[in-house]
Each structure stands twice: as structure tokens, then as C-alpha cells.
Amino acid sequence: MQIDQQKCVACGNCIPVCPMGAIAIDTGLNRAVVNTNECVECYACFRGMSMEKLNPTLVRGIRRLLKIFRLRFDPEPDVCPTSAIIPDELSWPRVVRRAFSDPIVTHESTGVHGRGTEEVKTNDVTHRVGLGEAGYVIEFGRPTVGVWFRDIEKMTRALAGIGIEFEPRNPVTHMMIDRKTGKLRDDILNEKILSAIVEFKTAVENVPVVLRRVDEVSKTLDTVVSVGVSTRCDVEGNSALDGILAEEGFSYVRGKTNLGLGHA
């Protein structure tokens, strides 16, 4: 994303809209500028604000005049008064930022909006996680924090080393050049995104070793990590996971229960 320096009147309205804190007023230029290293191309600023077409010279003049009388001309808070926020033409690899950060972009690897798949929410139909298996979602990043692909790769490589099976339809898996080693494409490693989800599965008895590895690696990453593990319950609704997690000392809550109503 960029800000047209000819049009910007430094009202500051776009600053709180950016989930990455990537927009700031350059006091020397008296214009808003985007830190392109931190910008994840989420389009929140461009799409989230109304664009008015006031004349920048006129607005600057009014602001200067009012300032003399200790008054301010401020547009409504959700408005860029001069339509100064301009999307860049994104090429590879920068375009990957938008694919993982703009929730209305359809990811070509999944055909759905956003950064993951349906995970196990439809497992009663897809059977992606079978009997005796555990499915995992590892989520990296958050608004204001984000995540670099190089950090995601540290985790995927560490997990590949203990013999997991990456979900083939997941967008991060789609970025791997070798699913056996968890190696991502070199040209995306220095791209930052808002967040990403890595999905994979193992035999349920491997849950402790996987969670310990995730715990170890997450401490070395420049982002936040959260983990979900799922499995199939027996007919009484009991899950082998409960005992495993309690024995290993992990605190957990049962977040979602899929009742199987999708099963034809």
C-alpha cells in the first residue's frame, strides 16, 4: 500500500485503521507514510475508509488557517478526505502478503477466503482426521504482531523432523517445496503476513511429542503461536486426547464439538 504524497493532508485518520501499525505521520514531510516492511497488504486502510475527493491544497490551506486560531479541521474519523491511499500493483513474492492477510481474497490453493481450510469443522464428511489420529492447527501471528514466513518455516521444518503429515489443501503447505522436510519457497521467507495456519495430522499417541516440539520452537519465534488439537470422540463423546493432555500437563479446553450432523 502507498500514500500519495501529493494528496495526503496528514490528518492521521488512517493510522488507527492499520492493524500492523505500519502508517505514521512523517513530521518532516508532514505527510502520512507506510512502512513497507511492516505493511502486510491487508487492504484495511484502503477498503475500510471512505474516500472523499477534497482538493488537497484547499484542505491544507484551511488547516493552516484554522491552526492560527487554535482550531482544527478534521474529517470524519473513517474518511480519507483526499483519496490518498493507493494500492500498489503487487507482484510475486509480495503478493503473498495479501493472499494471507486480506480476508476477502480467495486463496488459489484452497478456493476459500482467508488463510486456512475448513480444518476439522466438517470432518464428519471429509474424514480428514481418521480414527486413532489427531489433527492439529498451529496459528501464527495476530493483528499488531504478524508473522514472517521465515519463522513459520522454522516450525514446519522442526515438525517435519518428527514425521508429520501436512494437510495438502492448506495454503502454507502449498508454499512448501518439500513436504517431507517442511521447506518453504526461499523467495517468500522475507515476506510478512498478518497470520497463518499450519495444519497436519499424526497418530494420536504422538500428540505429546508434537506439542513439546511446538512449545520449544515457538519460544524462538518473533511472533505468537496458538495450537488446536482435534480427534474423533467415541460414541459416548469421550476423547483419548483428554487423558493425554492432562498427563502431559497441558492446560486445555474443549473448544468445538462437531456433532456429525453433516454425515449423510
The least distance separating ligand SF4 from the CB of residue 151, rounded to whole angstroms, comes to: 18
Instruction: Extract the C-alpha cell encoding 29.
Output: 514531510
Residue 23 as a binder of ligand SF4 (CB under 6 A): the answer is yes
Q: Which window, 20-28, 127-135, 201-209, 224-232, contacts ligand SF4 (CB under 6 A)?
A: 20-28
The least distance separating ligand SF4 from the CB of residue 62, rounded to whole angstroms, comes to: 13
**How far is the C-alpha of 100 from the C-alpha of 52, rounded, in Å?**
29
- DSSP assignment letter at 185: P
Q: Which is nearer to ligand SF4, 10 or 214 (CB)?
A: 10
* Residues in binding contact with ligand SF4, number by CB under 6 A: 28
Q: Which of 5, 6, 14, 239 binds ligand SF4 (CB under 6 A)?
A: 14
Q: Which window, 79-87, 127-135, 196-204, 209-217, contacts ligand SF4 (CB under 6 A)?
A: 79-87
Taking Cα atoms as reference points, which of 82, 87, 77 lies closest to residue 52?
Answer: 82
Residue 260 as a binder of ligand SF4 (CB under 6 A): the answer is no
Q: Are the beta carbons of 202 and 210 closer than 8 angstroms?
A: yes
Q: Which is nearer to ligand SF4, 10 or 229 (CB)?
A: 10
Element (H, E) at 148: strand 147-148
Residue 11 as a binder of ligand SF4 (CB under 6 A): the answer is yes
Residue 10 as a binder of ligand SF4 (CB under 6 A): the answer is yes
Q: Which is nearer to ligand SF4, 40 or 241 (CB)?
A: 40
Q: Which is nearer to ligand SF4, 62 or 240 (CB)?
A: 62
- Go through the chain and tell me how many residues it has: 264
Q: Which is nearer to ligand SF4, 20 or 211 (CB)?
A: 20
Instruction: Extract the C-alpha cell encoding 105.
Output: 481474497
The least distance separating ligand SF4 from the CB of residue 77, rounded to whole angstroms, comes to: 9
**How far is the C-alpha of 8 from the C-alpha of 159, rounded, in Å?**
46
**How far is the C-alpha of 151 from the C-alpha of 170, rounded, in Å?**
17
The least distance separating ligand SF4 from the CB of residue 83, rounded to whole angstroms, comes to: 8
Q: Which of residues 27-66 bind ligand SF4 (CB under 6 A)?
A: 32, 34, 39-45
- DSSP assignment letter at 160: H
Q: Which of 80, 96, 164, 197 binds ligand SF4 (CB under 6 A)?
A: 80
Greatest CA separation found in the chain? 75
Element (H, E) at 32: strand 31-34
Per-residue CA distances from 101 to 59, 89, 257 (Å): 33, 16, 28
**How far is the C-alpha of 101 from the C-alpha of 157, rounded, in Å?**
23
Please give the residue ranges that form the binding site for ligand SF4 (CB under 6 A).
1, 3, 8-14, 17-18, 20, 22-23, 32, 34, 39-45, 80-82, 84-85
